[in-house]
Structure 1
Amino acid sequence: MARIVLATHNAHKVEEFQAIVAAVRPDLEVVAYDGPEPVEDGVTFAANALIKARAAAAHTGLPALADDSGVAVDVLGGSPGVFSAYWAGHKKDATANLELLLDQLSDVADPHRTAQFVSVIALVRPDGAEDTVEGRWPGRLATRPAGPGGFGYDPIFIPDGQPADAERTVGQWTAAEKNAESHRARAFGHLAPLLATL
C-alpha cells in the first residue's frame, strides 16, 4: 500500500484525513508524522500548511500533506484565522480558545455571528513539487457549546444549509457527516485529482 505522511501530531486529524483519503484512494495509507514540529511563522493558512508539509516530506522522504485551518469570524475581521489554535495563548488549549472566543462575542447578536471554517491543504512531493488547495465552510457561531463530537471550535459552529428547526453544531454531527461536508472535505475535493497522480 502506498503511503503519504500527514504533517501533524494530532491523532484526530490523522483519523479524519484517513477517512477522507480512503474515499478517493483506498490504496493510500495516511501515516502520522513523527518528526520535530517546524515553527509555523506564516501569516496565511497556505504559508503555514507549506511549512509543515515541507518539513514532513524532508524528514520522511514521503509525499506529505499538511492542513492549516481555523475559524474566521466576520465581525472580528477574519480572526482568529491563522491564530485559531493559539487564540488563548501558546498552550494550544482548545477549551480556553473556545471560551475566549465566546466571551469576545457575548454581546454580538445572532445575525452578526457569521463565520467560516477555512482549510488549506498543502501537498509536497519528495521531488519538491508543491500544491495548495482551499476549502471554506460557511456558518455562524452558537452562544454556547453543544455536542460531544469533533474538536476545537466544532461545538460552537453551526454550518449553513441546515433546516432552521433542526440546526446542530458540528459537535452534534457524526464523524461521517462532518467528513462529507467539512472545510477539509471541500479542500480535499480539489486535492483528489493531485493524489491520483502519486
Structure 2
Amino acid sequence: MNLGRAKAVPYTDNPAGVTGIDKQPVDGPVRVAPPGPKGVGGSGLAGDAVCKLEHHGGDDQAVYAMAREDLDEWEHELGRSLAHGAFGENLTTEGLDVSGARIGERWRVGPTVLLEVTSGRIPCRTFQGHLDEKGWVKRFTRRGAPGAYLRVIEPGEIRAGDLVEIAHRPDHDVTVALQFRAVTVERTLLPRLLPAGGALHPEVLRQAREYVAKHGA
C-alpha cells in the first residue's frame, strides 16, 4: 500500500507545479472510501495526494493498482530497481493478473474493503518525468499492461499485506488490457467494450457509444 504527498517538480503538466505521483509504502491502517466525483474528489485513500483533479482521482479512479510481477518485468527491461509505488500505484499486488482483470471485477481487500475495476491507467507526461525515461509514454503504451483503476464499493480500512481476493468476476471478456488498447492504439476495438456496460469508467463508456453511433458495431 502506497501513499503520495504533494511535491513540487519541474516535469509535471499540472499548472500548479505539484504532483502526488511519488507514492511511498506505508503500513497502515488507511481509510478507503469513495472520494467524490471527478474534478472534486481526489484519492480514495486517506492521506494520498491527487494534485490535478481534472484528469486524476474521483470515484471511478479512486484507487490505482499495479502488479508486482509487471514492475519486476520493467526492472529487468530498464535495468533499475522499482520499489512498491514506483508507478504511482496505491496497491502493489502479488499473484494477481491486474491488467487481465475484467471490467466490473470486484476485489475484496482485507476484511472490509470492496473495490471494482473500471479501467486502465493512461500514461502522461508527469509519469514520464517521474521515471525519467525518454519516450516512456509510448513505451508503456506499447506494453499494454497499464494496471487498473478501481472504484470503492464498500469502504473500510486496509493495511500493507492484506489479502486481495476476487469476490466477483463478470461473465464478459472485457479486460483492462483490452479496454486500454481500445482507447489508445486500436480504437476499432471500442465496440467490444460495451458488454461491460455501466461498470466501465463513464468516459470510456461514452467513447464506446459514440464510436458505435458513428461507425457502427
Q: Larger relative CO (CA 8 A, sep 6+): 1 or 2?
A: 2
**What TM-score do you get using the length of structure 1 for normalisation?**
0.27
- Whose helix fraction is larger, Structure 1's or Structure 2's? 1
**What TM-score do you get using the length of structure 2 for normalisation?**
0.26
